[in-house]
Amino acid sequence: MRFDILTIFPQLLDSPLQEGIIRRAVAAGKIRVNIHDIRDFALDKHAMTDDRPFGGGEGMVMKPEPIAGSLRAIEKKNPGGRVIFLSPQGRRYTQKEAERLAAYEHLILLCGRYEGVDERIRANYVDEEISIGDYILTGGELAAMVMVDSITRLLPGVLGCGDSVENDTFSRGLLKNPQYTRPREFEGYTVPEVLISGDHSAIAEWRLVTSVQQTLQKRPELLTLAVFSKEELQILKKNKLLEAVEQEQRG
């Protein structure tokens, strides 16, 4: 999968690309990430990429020519990429959106700054707008890295454990169950006995029950997305959770 990221601050993206899962995915050839400095396509000697808005008002607006030049250069070398503008006006980014976008072979992420981009870019060059949340960042670079990270981990062969994606929080409308590792005792607190019992059926039941309990307590609205098997519904009923789950699902 190919990511092209357009920004006026390319160095902001250097460190995240050199660490963890993304670095390994790049090294393994699972993804390619190319950073493009929009200033390289500015038309004046000062490499200006922004100007005052027509009609007055606060802030500055990113000029259309450098962005259009960047996008045309990418299209010339690798045609067919889907252009996404990181914008607070965009559709809210979710796990389902990450799964949808992971099906594309080429994503072009346009990072805005200041008061945004000239509307002629938005109207004529952008395929869709995405917002990672209802808050304002100083630019789209952090949002772009959120997308690269969340999409990359969905690609086949990127994560060491194939089940990790399927069992992730938000993948099935449930928060993940509590996690424990060595030592078995820490500051007087011990690991739940069921997890060291060797009884895989009991462990699976404990994980489902505690996952549902966590979701009911912290993010009950997620249960509207949850789907349970007949066996899981029986477990919830036995543990007196089914009524609470059904109530959340009914809204």
- Active-site residues, by number, are 88, 115, 153, 168
Which of 243, 166, 181, 178 minimizes the C-alpha distance to 208? 178
How would you label 148-159 residue by residue, b for 16+ Cβ within 10 Å and e otherwise? bbbbbbbeeebb
Instruction: Record the tokens describing residue 71, joined without a space.
Output: 């996008």
Helix (H, G, I), strand (E, B) or coil at 35: strand
Cα 85 from Cα 88, distance rounded (Å) = 10
Helix (H, G, I), strand (E, B) or coil at 16: helix
Identify any residues that bridge with 50 across adjacent strands, giving them in sequence order: 62
Helix (H, G, I), strand (E, B) or coil at 24: helix
Cα 245 from Cα 117, distance rounded (Å) = 44
Cα 79 from Cα 67, distance rounded (Å) = 16
Would you give the DSSP letter of residue 117? Answer: B
| Contact between residue 33 and residue 22 where contact means Cβ atoms under 8 Å apart | yes
